[in-house]
Amino acid sequence: MHNPVLDDMAEYAFDRLRALLRDVTPPAGLDPIIMSLGEPNHEPPDIISRTVAGHGDKWGRYPPTAGAAAHLEACAGWLERRYGLPGGLVDPARHVCAAMGSRESLYMAGDVCIPQTKNGGRPVVAIPNPFYQAYYGAAKLNGAEVAVLSGSPAGGYLPDFSELSGEQLRRTAMVYLCTPSNPQGTAAGLDYLSRAVELAREHDFVLAVDECYAEIYLGEPTPGILQACAAAGGGLENVLTFNSLSKRSSSPGLRSGFVAGDEGIISRLKRLRAYGGATIPAPLAEAATALWNDDAHVEANRALYREKFDRADEILAGVLGYYRPDGGFFLWLEAGDGEEAARRLWAEAAVRVVPGAYVGLADRSGVNPGDGRIRVALVDDPATVAEGLTRIRNTLAS
Ligand SMILES: Cc1ncc(COP(=O)(O)O)c(C=O)c1O
């Protein structure tokens, strides 16, 4: 017995990449550089090991599923500092739920927010295109019609809501956004976010905003969805923000993040997680709490990313459609046939990248916006990244 929807779903992007490169051998004399996986490789802050060592007594306890009070307060405190939110907008007890990173809760939000029907029809879930795979999984496995919104170059490829017909909008149960976006690195402006909040409330859908790259900005701090809620003057109705320490604190192995937003949805998410959610162990939750309370390590982390984009500015100037993004740590390069480029880069330069088409789908015009692109993650130390980018330029742009 099995779920036919799951069987029908496209293979996960990294499985497809493994299959694509299975018979390709990188040159013997070159150290491989992995630029496919968005796994931050900066030294994790020593706050983690120090804090965990100080809370060894807690390994023997079941941690609270939704997060301990101090943990939730740290998350809410960070939101207030990061976005200059008015005190009281985010009540840690009512509006925040701790989670294992952000992937799990991005997926579980679909279980909570997608009904069997919306306004008498099949629910629609709109997602950016390309997209992080959890949005797609949440929509498909909850029986929704998936609308992939590719946006336009002028809008930095953020979803353009006019791509949804009026009839689809009536059936829309959820819209996922990502800002700064993976892979294009576009930061949504406050006007865009405010319009999204307005639409969500007008059409009563859940606006699920993935802000896991919120601390990796290259210029001014990027706006957040809760700022749009504050600007609208009300509460957090219809809105969720997803955050993570994986990128902010270079600690993807810690598996710690949180969701904040609409009180009713957060309460249902907590109920769902009480049945089937994994819980971050208490000593690790203590470390997460300390990380959310500290900004100095984040500043150092961001400086490393800026240094890498400075190198990218030099190495890739004028080639492969390179541009410096607003945030995040990806390059979304023009590379002709993306699969062919990925195979060549592995075969000739020992550099592993993702063909753009693997993280997108054909949209309503039949075009996969990832065709002709590769996604490159700048996650290693600056010298390794510069070496990887030089190999990419020499292989694809000479
Ligand atoms: C856009 C986006 N959202 C969410 C995640 C999930 O990360 P985590 O579960 O480690 O917070 C990732 C990871 O690469 C991502 O790129």
Ligand 1 pocket, residue 254 CB under 6 Å: no
DSSP bridge pairs for 374: 333, 355
Pocket test for ligand 1, best of 35, 103, 104, 179 (most atoms within 8 A of CB): 103
pLDDT at 9: 80
Whether 236 contacts 246, CB under 8 Å: no
Q: What is the pLDDT of residues 21-72, one digit of tens each?
A: 999 999 999 999 999 999 999 999 999 999 999 999 999 999 998 999 999 9
pLDDT at 6: 85
Ligand 1 pocket, residue 212 CB under 6 Å: yes
Number of other CB atoms surrounding residue 84 within 10 Å? 12
Ligand 1 pocket, residue 102 CB under 6 Å: yes
pLDDT at 15: 93
Confidence of residue 4 (pLDDT cuts 50, 70, 90): confident
**Average pLDDT, rounded, for the chain:** 96
pLDDT at 349: 98
- SS3 state at 24: coil
Average pLDDT score over residue span 160-179: 96
pLDDT at 7: 82
DSSP bridge pairs for 172: 124
- CA of 28 from ligand 1 middle (Å) equals 32
Overall pTM surpassing 0.95 (yes/no)? yes
pLDDT at 27: 96
Whether 33 contacts 351, CB under 8 Å: yes
pLDDT of 270 above 80: yes
pLDDT at 204: 97
- CA of 210 from ligand 1 middle (Å) equals 8
Q: What is the pLDDT of residues 322-359, one digit of tens each?
A: 999 999 999 999 999 999 999 999 999 999 999 999 99
Residue nearest ligand 1's atom 2 by CA: 132
Whether 382 contacts 307, CB under 8 Å: yes
pLDDT at 243: 98
Q: Which domains, from first to last, does the chain contain?
A: 4-43+297-396 (3.90.1150.10), 48-294 (3.40.640.10)
Residue nearest ligand 1's atom 14 by CA: 38
Residue nearest ligand 1's atom 5 by CA: 103
Q: Tell me which residue has tokens 């916006």.
A: 369
Of ligand 1's listed atoms, the one at least distance from the Cα of 245 is 11
Confidence of residue 309 (pLDDT cuts 50, 70, 90): very high
Pocket test for ligand 1, best of 102, 330, 332 (most atoms within 8 A of CB): 102
Pocket test for ligand 1, best of 247, 249, 292, 378 (most atoms within 8 A of CB): 247
Confidence of residue 202 (pLDDT cuts 50, 70, 90): very high
DSSP symbols for 203-229:
HT-EEEEE-TTTT-BSSSPPP-HHHHH
Whether 151 contacts 157, CB under 8 Å: yes
CA dist 395 and 91 (Å) reads 52
pLDDT at 398: 79
Q: What is the pLDDT of residues 110-127, one digit of tens each?
A: 999 999 999 999 999 999
Supply 7's token pair. Answer: 């069987």
